Structures are given as C-alpha cells and as structure tokens.
Structure 1
Amino acid sequence: MTSPIFNVLTIAGSDSGGGAGIQADLKAFSALGAYGASVITALTAQNTRGVTAIHAPDAGFVTAQLDAVFDDIRIDAVKIGMLANADIVHAVADALRRHKPARVVLDTVMISKSNHALLAPEAVAALREALLPLAGVVTPNLPEAAALLGVAPATDEAAMVEQGEALRALGAQAVLMKGGHLGSADSPDWLIEAGGTLRLAGPRVPVTNTHGTGCTLSSAIAALWPQRGALAPAVGEAKQYLTAALEASERLDVGHGVGPVHHFWRWW
C-alpha cells in the first residue's frame, strides 16, 4: 500500500538568497517527502552576507493567505517562522484558533544569522502570549528562549531544561531547546514534553554554511511529525537530517558569506 503524502504549511518570511525562511522550509518539506504550501509573512532583501531590507505585508493579507490555504487544502502540520510584527502574530494566532491544525511547530525567529532583527521588539510579548499556547512544539535557540522568558541565556544543559520547562508552563505542549549556542564540543538539544525530557545528542559540525539551520530543523520536524505519528521520533530524525545537510553543505557554492545547508544531500 502506498504511503500517504502529507500536506505541510509554512508560515514564514521569504529569503531572496534561498537559504532560510520559506525557501528553506519548502526544500526541507520536499526532501522529506511532504507536500509544501506557504503563507508569506515578510519579504526580505537578503543574501549570505546579511539582510538589507524587510517589507511586511498588511496583516489582513496574511489572513487572506491563511484562509485560502486552510479552506481548500487538508493541512497535516504547520511550521511557523518569521512573523515580523505583533499584528501578524495576532493574525496567525487567530487563524490557528479558527482552523485548528493538528500539529503546530513554532520556530521563534527573532534574529538573523547576520544579527538583523526579524521580529519587532514589541512583538515578543504577543508571540509569548498569543502563539506559545497554540504550539504543539516550540523550537527556540538559547537567546530566543531567554528573550521569551526575560532571563539570561542558559549556559549549561541543566539551565536549558529549566528554561524549557518554564516555556512549557507558558502553554506550549512541548519545547525543543536547541543547544547550538552552548559552545560545547557537541551540540545537544533537549525535548521537554509532558511525559518527561529527552536528550538528543549530536555532533557539532565544523562548517561555516549554517544559514537557515533553525528554519530547516523546524520544517523537518513539521514534515516528519505526521509521517512518524509521534513528536519524539520526528524530532530525532529531523536532527539527523539537519546534521547530514550541514555535513554536505560545503558541496554548495552559494554566496560569499554564511552559506546555506544542503537540503537535497540525499538526491544530488
């Protein structure tokens, strides 16, 4: 019997350089066997060296995109990335409450790899209060988790787990605390769910092509979650996929700054 092809929606910003955002999400969905739909929340003028301009559409147009997709297409999982401002955060939250998708992966995108703000400061509270309670899993890195909680970033794994549990207390069903900023020899992540915690070990891949890693991991989770039927195995497989995409990234020759990961390492 042929396995079903699941439909996954990304709600995120566009990266004109193709390494992150909507473009990375759709590549990861395709590489992992899911059909991708998209709602664009921002347009960025961006390359591997940085972000030079951002244009956010009216929140009403974001709502129109969301309703158009949900009214016609069965959506098995949603990945949320860059949301730009508080009005768009609330538009997305309202749509999720109306359409009630079964699986929501919230990637709390705040700062680009080139240190450009991708979320207005006043929107952090809206993200915390309106969207966290709707997330099946939220996937912050350590600075993002700290910003959401109003505390200093975790500097060890015990603090990572503590902050992950604090984010769960704000309403998220599960939290994946990403340990890339720890600076340790490896790159451990911690999945905190109602039933307990799970440490996901992983090597720190010594490459410079790390643009779009957070987008790629969260979209991989969204693509794999309906296929695997449970969150933990989807997260574990998504982390393995990203590690391989990082390891293969030097096969690409894209730009002169922080290059992208190789989403199609299995096929090219």
Structure 2
Amino acid sequence: MKKTLTLAGSDSSGGAGIQADLKTFQEHNVYGMTALTSIVTMVPETWTHQVTAIDVNLVENQLDTILSLGIDAMKTGMLGSVDIIELGAHKIKKNNLTNVVVDPVMVCKGDDEILQPENTVALREHLLPVATITTPNLFEAGQLAQTGPITNLEQMKEAAKIILDLGVKNVVIKGGSALNHDKAVDLFYDGHEFLVLEKEKLETNNNHGAGCTFAAAITANLAQGKPIKEAVIHAKDFVYAAIQAGFKLNQFVGSVNHGAWNQVK
C-alpha cells in the first residue's frame, strides 16, 4: 500500500487540515500519516480562529518517525513558523523525497489577514525550490509572486511563471469561483504549457477544506504513480464532487464532503 505524509495543522472542526488530508488519502486507498504543526480551534460564539503552534522539536520527532517508514508522496499545509518551514525543506532534501506537494496556507478560511508574513518569505526561499508542485489560491499566488491581487486569467499566468522561477517544478493556481470569469477556473503550468481547468461555478458556501482536499488528492495520485498533469486533473474532479455534496456544519461554516467522489462515480 502506498504511504503518504501530511505535514500540516489540525482543524478541530474536521473539514480542513490533517483531518481533510486523512479522509482524502483514505478515499484514494493510500496510507496516510501525519506530522502536526499546529492545532486550530474556534471560538464557538464567533468562529474566530485560534492557532496554537507545536514545538519544532516535536514536529521533527514526528517527521523522523514517519520517514523511518518510508513514504511515496507528501504534502504540506499550515506550517506555522519559519523554523518548521526550514525543517520541512531540510527533511525533504536530506531524505531525497520526491512527489512533494506544497499547499502554501497563509490564512484560515473566513479570515483575511495573513497569519505570518515572514512565512511567505521562507516558503519562497526554502520550500518551493524542493517542491514538485505548489497549489496556491489567488491570494496566496499574489503573495508568492509578489504581484498583488489577481483578478483574471492573464494575471494568473504571469503569477504562475514567477512562482515557477522560484524553483518549484509545477504550479496550479486555484481561481475557483473567486476569479472574474463565468466558470470556476484553475490554471496548471509546468514551465512549457498552460492548462486551463474549467468547471461550472457552484453557488455554495459549503467549501471549507476544499484547498486541503485538492492538494491531498494530488498527493495521493502522485503516490500511486500518476503523472503530474493527470494527478491535478483528477484532483479537480475529486474536489468538485466534494464541494457539490458539501453540507452545513453550523451557522458559520459548511464543509466539503470528502467521500462524495467514491459515492457517485
């Protein structure tokens, strides 16, 4: 059985973070392992996010446990600090890890302030150069490419070129329903060609965990030996089904349904 690692935060509400990753790995029949970087909790009355970091030495102990077993692919999510970003990059290089998916999480869904600006610098300098693919949304792509807000497909293409020049081998920018376009659009770029992935827009707010699920699906597909472009195309279909079958958790948030793809295919 193929083995996968997620180096990410824990979402206590279960929709995103390592919880989303493990559910997605299970749906793809790969064995998921977790190295926690932080624990995210919410204030029940307001759903304000509270992020508690895990000590970097404990993160390293988790990684050493997992890497001693061997992995076929890995992803990163919320990393929490420059030290953890540098640690992740070090472990990837030291262990000659391939199939590395970097989801450059910068904010919690529902918040609009970047968690730690210094982490973006560390992602650019340390983690992207050792990654197989990175999966930023429009906000994250603008931060990584240092272009400012991205509102159309041409700006996505320019940002993808800049991000690729940071050393990552492939980029997929998630435009989704936020892009100024009549379809939900994601853009894949491998340095040679652009691939525009389009779906009908879904009028729903039940999309908590969509980004984590998308990156985890790519990771699982890479672990199983699929080519990068095929892995991305499948992940788009997988997360689209998950959003389509999403459901309301409370008055503040609705989650994607991680099992939807296998229920309907």
Q: What is aligned with 1:167?
A: 163
The answer on 1:14 being equivalent to 2:6 is no
Aligned to 1:197: 194
Q: Give the unaligned 5+ runs of structure 2.
A: none
Query: Cα distance, 1:64 vs. partner?
Result: 1.1
Q: Single out whichever of 195-204 and 78-87 deviates more from structure 2.
A: 195-204
Task: State the SS of the aligned residue for 1:185.
Answer: coil
User: Cα RMSD between the aligned structures?
Assistant: 1.7
AA in 2 matched with 1:6: K
What is the number of equivalent residue pairs in this alignment?
Answer: 261
- Give, as a single letter, the amino acid of the residue that structure 2 aligns with 1:41: T
The CA deviation string for residues 51-76 of structure 1, in whole angstroms up to 9 with x for no partner, is 432111111111111111101x2211
CA distance in 2, matches of 1:148, 1:22: 23
The 3-state SS of whatever aligns with 1:179 is strand
Runs (5+) with no aligned partner, structure 1: none
CA displacement at 1:184 relative to structure 2? 2.3
**Which residue among 206, 214, 219 is the counterpart of 2:216?**
219
Task: Report the TM-score when normalising by structure 1.
Answer: 0.92
TM-score w.r.t. the length of structure 2 is 0.93
The CA distance in 1 between the partners of 2:82 and 2:237, in whole Å, is: 33
- Residue of structure 2 in register with 1:179 after alignment: 175
Question: Identity of aligned pairs, percent?
Answer: 37
CA distance in 1, matches of 2:47, 2:241: 24
Where 1:54 maps in the other structure, the secondary structure is: strand
- Of 60, 65, 76, the residue aligned with 2:62 is 65
Q: Identify which of 49, 56, 60 aligns with 2:53.
A: 56
Structure 1 segment 89-108 matched on structure 2, within 5 A: 89-108=85-104
Structure 2: distance between partners of 1:66 and 1:150: 31
Partner SS, residue 200 of structure 1: strand
Structure 1 residues 76 and 169: alpha-carbon distance in aligned structure 2, compared to 1, 3 A threshold:
same
Distance 1:15 1:195, change over 3 A: same
Q: What does residue 151 of structure 1 align with?
A: 147
Per-residue CA shift, 1:198-248, capped at 9, x if unaligned?
111122111110111100100011011232520001100110011111111
Partner letter of residue 226 of structure 1?
A
Contact 1:84/1:118 (<8 A) preserved: no
Alpha carbons of structure 1 residues 13 and 131: separation in structure 2 relative to 1, 3 Å: same
Determine which of 250, 257, 260 is the counterpart of 1:262: 257
